[in-house]
Amino acid sequence: NQQMANTPPNDEAARNQLAERQKELAKDAQKMEQEAKELSKKMGTQEEMPTKEMQQAEQQLQQENPGQQMEQAGEQMEQGDMQQAQQQGEQAKQSAQKFKQKMQGVKQKMQENTQRAVTNKMRKALQDMLDLSKRQEALKERTENTQANSPEFRDQAQEQGQMGQEMQNIGD
């Protein structure tokens, strides 16, 4: 924007160069908008994703449309209306900054959700281990009073094997 403000309206070559750069930025902004749409769709299929926040960021980007603002700024530069071009460029910059802040919020929410999910999984694994430990202790006590050649002993051996498998499942 500073370069835009310092470009005299009658310097057509500089104006055209700035206008071309502005149009390139507009294309980048439109590409960013498309990528935001795709990301929003992908996030909708994943657990622990802040889809609501992402959709809000996407909506804001569509409403404010910094790509279109940049394109208009480029057209105004080509026409020599540097003051109007500068205002459009400033609006585009502000729109892009708002989107950046929204996306930082999405990132933070994703981190919080992921951390919460990991904590819950760890808590469940710990509870499962405690339950399994209690069952193992009860089986040990029953096995001490069972004769080795009895049918109950075979059942208890199968139960022990099943608990071993459950212990492996907890680790996975």
User: For 29-50, what is each residue's pLDDT tens digit?
Assistant: 888 888 888 887 777 777 777 8
Residue 4 predicted with pLDDT over 70: no
Residue 2 predicted with pLDDT over 60: no
Rounded Cα distance, 94 and 48, in Å? 30
The dihedral built from the CA positions of residue 121, 122, 125 and 126, taken in this order, carries a sign that is negative
Residue-level pLDDT at 61: 85
Rounded Cα distance, 123 and 117, in Å? 10
Residue 68 predicted with pLDDT over 60: yes
Residue-level pLDDT at 123: 93
**Nearest Cα to 103, choosing from 41, 30, 39?**
39
Rounded Cα distance, 109 and 7, in Å? 43
* CB burial of residue 100 (10 Å; 0-12, 13-18, 19+): exposed
Residue 5 predicted with pLDDT over 60: no
Copy the structure tokens of residue 81.
């209306």
Mean pLDDT of all residues in the chain?
84
Rg (CA), the chain: 31
User: For 84-117, what is each residue's pLDDT tens digit?
Assistant: 888 888 898 898 899 889 889 988 988 898 888 8
